[in-house]
Amino acid sequence: MPRHRISWGHFAMVEAELELLRAAVPGGYDYYHLLSGVDVPVKTRAYIENYFTRAPGRNYVSFFSRRRFPAPISTASGFTTPAAL
C-alpha cells in the first residue's frame, strides 16, 4: 500500500481507509479492525480472535437514521456532511 499524507478529520483519511479495505476484502475475512496510531488493544490478539470467533456474523457497527436526525450534522469547525449521506 502506498503511504498517504493524512490530516485528522479530513476526507483523505476516509479515502485511505477505503483503499485499505478494497485491498483487504479479497482476503475473505469476516471482520476488519481499523486501528489508528493512538489505538492500543487492551487484550491479547488471541483473546480478540477468540471473541470474534464466538459470535460469527455479529455486526458491531451502528448508525443514526437521517429520518431521526433530518438536519445536517455539523461539527464545531462548520463542516456539514454531504446530503447523500
Cell 490478539 belongs to 45
Q: Is a pLDDT exceeding 90 seen at residue 46?
A: yes
- Average pLDDT of 15-33? 87
**What is the pTM for the complete model shown?**
0.53
- Average pLDDT of 3-28? 87
Q: Which residues of 47-60 are buried (b: 16+ CB within 10 A; e: fewer)?
A: eeeeeeeeeeeeee
